[in-house]
Amino acid sequence: MPEYWYNVNTHEIEEDAMSDWSQLIGPYKTREEAQHALEKVKARNEAWEKDEDD
């Protein structure tokens, strides 16, 4: 079963991590999940920042 990765430099989805690890977010089980990688990162960052403020 393939894994999907979001490439932060090219903004493309890669199947089975073809680029350097420093450029990738993942792995994700589906292409659709990988397409929303930046949204997940943003939401997690906001949650962490909120926890730090409390």
Identify whether 31 is part of a domain: yes
Identify whether 9 is part of a domain: yes
Q: Supply the range of the domain harboring residue 16.
A: 4-49
**Over the stretch 2-50, which tens digit does the pLDDT of each residue have?**
999 999 999 999 999 899 999 999 999 999 999 999 999 999 999 998 8
Identify whether 39 is part of a domain: yes
Token digits of residue 4: 């999907």
Identify whether 54 is part of a domain: no
**How many domains does the chain divide into?**
1
Identify whether 29 is part of a domain: yes
User: Model pTM?
Assistant: 0.81
Identify whether 22 is part of a domain: yes
